[in-house]
Structure 1
Amino acid sequence: MKRFRAGIIFFTIFLLKANTCLAWQPAVSADAAVLMDANTGQVLYAKNAHKRRPPASTTKILTGILALDMGNPAETVVVSPRAAAVGESSIYLSAGEKLTLDELIQGALMKSGNDACAAIAEHIGGSIEMFSQLMNLKAKMLGAWNSNFINPHGLPAKNHYSTAYDLALIARYAMQNRRFAEIVAQKEKEIDWYGQSWNRHLKNTNKLLWRYIWADGIKTGTTKAAGQCLVSSASKDCRKLIAVVLKSGDRYGDSIQLFEYGFNNYYYQQVAVAGEYFGYADVKNGLYPKVQLAFKSDLGVLVPKDRPGSLEKRLVLERKPQAPVKAGQTLGWMEVNIDRQRVGRVELVALNEVPENSLKNRVLSWIQKIIG
């Protein structure tokens, strides 16, 4: 009987602990989702993060940032008949119409104009097909290896796909561009309408800008195959998070859940400051037996409030340093793990020189000690 009661008590405690852990996890309806810290790239939540899915108009994030990277926003773009003919979501461009590249980018990112994306692609890449190749090259440069783009707007196409994780990487990069961030944060905007006595009114398709006080970007996407998609960003207390939900039953509700989870259940901890002393390493064949190590750059991570002990730091040296060692030389790195998953890495450099242990250097060192 005592054993039975003990078993009940243990099972009850186990359930309470399990329910407590589960309570901290967002219950999102999306088929795939990611929550990423924009500063470090640390993933705070993931659900089918690497599952390939049609990205719909979230494709336009890459189109917009590629246009800003490769073009001059003040450049004049002449709309081709092919670009003007692209249908569905549109800013109603006409063949021969002239707009600035910046106006087209706003039309693509805010109003989700497919015609604007086509005009951007032809202007930057010479053709939609060539621009798509540039998109794929840029995606790979950003680490989005599980994506493939066939067009600049996200209309359904065979082999046009991305993942929640890849879109988060692309969005993180895009939001570092000040002009891009300004555009996607705008709720409404008017741009010139060539040949008309009135302006084009652009209203952002991202309703999260109205529904969530901390929201500040970036792009919706919707097709029958893709479902409701949203890549969004929010900033609070000097922290910025990126949320991605694909094929969601409630993209805005899911995104708010993710942001609240990230803001309320993690705290920022600085783990490295550039130039700060870290420790030392043994030097092989050196005039001095050890070399001091310092952090090459700053590094901060987000730590779960309920598991502060989950943060671990690990020294990694490629091999035992061999003299001579120059000041500033990279000798290894410090790896930062949370729950045994790597969330960051910072290089370790030599603070001081270590000459080779040669007869000449030993004599010079001896003379220096005598002098002074």
Structure 2
Amino acid sequence: MRKSLILFICIAAVICSPGLWNAAAGIGALSSASAVLYEPDSKRVLHGKGADSPRPMASTTKIMTALLAIELSPLDRVITVPEQAVRVEGSSLGLSGGDRITMLDLVTGMLLESGNDAANAVAFAVAGSIEAFVRLMNRRAKEIGMKNTFFATPSGLDEDGHRSTAYDMALLAAEAIKNPVIAKICASKSALIVFGDPPRKVRVTNHNRLLQLYPHAVGMKTGFTKKSGRCLVSAAEKDGVRLIAVTLKAGDDWNDHIKMYEYGFSLVELVAFPAQDLPDLDVAGGRVNKVALKMDAPPSKVLLKEEKSKLRAELSLPKFLIAPVKSGET
């Protein structure tokens, strides 16, 4: 008598190649002071230029603000906008003190229209003050691994010490885009939100022109201040591969990102390991003496195309199992 046992089988890609930090033939010169092209599956940098140099990052800051809003507050929560939140310069959603708006619509307006008033309203709603929210931002940055980042504002307006690096912002983007709400908003060209007294519908438009210029772009966030210059954090997906690109202080960020993506997608591919035929495994102390093994799913990995020839699949199993063993156990 046999039972089916589902096991996670560890198949490792044995690769010994360093990250690629230097410009390669074909990518060309970039206009940005800092840039990085990051592959989050393998956590590999495919291209970097001043990637660890701290710089102001303008409204790309709002990626962190949105992430915390979604992680720490129900999206259907109705927020009453405090007067302090709307006293802010720069891009605005047009909120007034006393307006009522859901957290989801605040996040949508913040990511698409880049409303600084919306970012402040999120901070007050989540933490009670700008200062308390900034502490949450910096704590979350440490959790993500952003070692050269300091947040001083939820909006990204110029303020002393407010800074990050292209590499750190790529880590933030990789974390944030895993959230389906953020991914959906950032991929939208526009959206309808509701706020005001009385409530009114307002259409907000995505400032990220890369969605129109590059067919594989799937979103993220633009930014600009006089101090930071043009900043852009973006993501693109092609043939199962997701890449993250970041530029800070760029003269031509759209083309910088397209150049990096074309380069990156020419380098890497998603490699699926073949399904393995698994042996039956002995069971000690049970009502049956063998169980059939079933692979949960063949694993896959994003690799440099030149690495495919260096792959080695290893199957590691115990000599036997000790009862009780349940069908479908992993």
- TM-score under structure 2 normalisation? 0.78
Q: For residue 41 of structure 2, what is the aligned residue in structure 1? A: 39
**1:63-99 superposed Cα distances (whole Å, 9 cap, x missing partner):** 0011111110000111001101122110011001100
**Given the superposition, is the C-alpha separation of residues 272 and 250 from structure 1 closer, same or farther in structure 2, using an over 3 Å criterion?**
farther
Q: For residue 318 of structure 2, what is the aligned residue in structure 1? A: 351
Q: For residue 256 of structure 1, what is the aligned residue in structure 2? A: 258
What is the deviation of 1:195?
2.4
Letter of the structure 2 residue corresponding to residue 125 of structure 1: A
Using the alignment, how far apart are the partners of 1:86 and 1:62 within structure 2?
19
**Given the superposition, is the C-alpha separation of residues 22 and 145 from structure 1 closer, same or farther in structure 2, using an over 3 Å criterion?**
closer
The answer (yes or no) to whether the contact 2:192–2:204 under 8 Å persists in 1 is yes
Q: For residue 102 of structure 2, what is the aligned residue in structure 1? A: 100
- Calculate percent identity across the aligned residue pairs: 40
Which of these residues, 209, 212, 222, is aligned with residue 210 of structure 1?
A: 212
Q: For residue 56 of structure 2, what is the aligned residue in structure 1? A: 54
**Given the superposition, is the C-alpha separation of residues 186 and 248 from structure 1 closer, same or farther in structure 2, using an over 3 Å criterion?**
same
**Given the superposition, is the C-alpha separation of residues 272 and 105 from structure 1 closer, same or farther in structure 2, using an over 3 Å criterion?**
farther
**Given the superposition, is the C-alpha separation of residues 197 and 178 from structure 1 closer, same or farther in structure 2, using an over 3 Å criterion?**
closer
Using the alignment, how far apart are the partners of 1:183 and 1:351 within structure 2?
46
Higher relative contact order (CA 8 A, sep 6+): 2
**Given the superposition, is the C-alpha separation of residues 57 and 273 from structure 1 closer, same or farther in structure 2, using an over 3 Å criterion?**
farther
Using the alignment, how far apart are the partners of 1:249 and 1:178 within structure 2?
31
5+ residue gaps, structure 2: 1-22, 280-297, 322-330
Letter of the structure 2 residue corresponding to residue 351 of structure 1: P
SS of aligned partner of 1:140: helix
- TM-score under structure 1 normalisation? 0.70
**1:8-40 superposed Cα distances (whole Å, 9 cap, x missing partner):** xxxxxxxxxxxxx94233421111111112333
Query: Where is the helix percentage greater, Structure 1 or Structure 2?
Result: 1
**1:279-315 superposed Cα distances (whole Å, 9 cap, x missing partner):** xxxxxxxxxxxxxxxxxx9562321x4x4489588xx
SS of aligned partner of 1:192: strand
Using the alignment, how far apart are the partners of 1:148 and 1:276 within structure 2?
50
SS of aligned partner of 1:166: helix
Q: How does 1:17-32 map to 2 (within 5 A)?
A: 22-32=24-34
**Given the superposition, is the C-alpha separation of residues 298 and 147 from structure 1 closer, same or farther in structure 2, using an over 3 Å criterion?**
farther
**Given the superposition, is the C-alpha separation of residues 275 and 256 from structure 1 closer, same or farther in structure 2, using an over 3 Å criterion?**
farther
The answer (yes or no) to whether the contact 1:271–1:301 under 8 Å persists in 2 is no
Q: For residue 302 of structure 1, what is the aligned residue in structure 2? A: 303
Using the alignment, how far apart are the partners of 2:43 and 2:180 within structure 1?
18
Alignment root-mean-square deviation, CA: 2.9
Q: How many residues align?
A: 285
Q: For residue 344 of structure 1, what is the aligned residue in structure 2? A: none
SS of aligned partner of 2:223: strand
**Structure with max Cα Rg:** 1
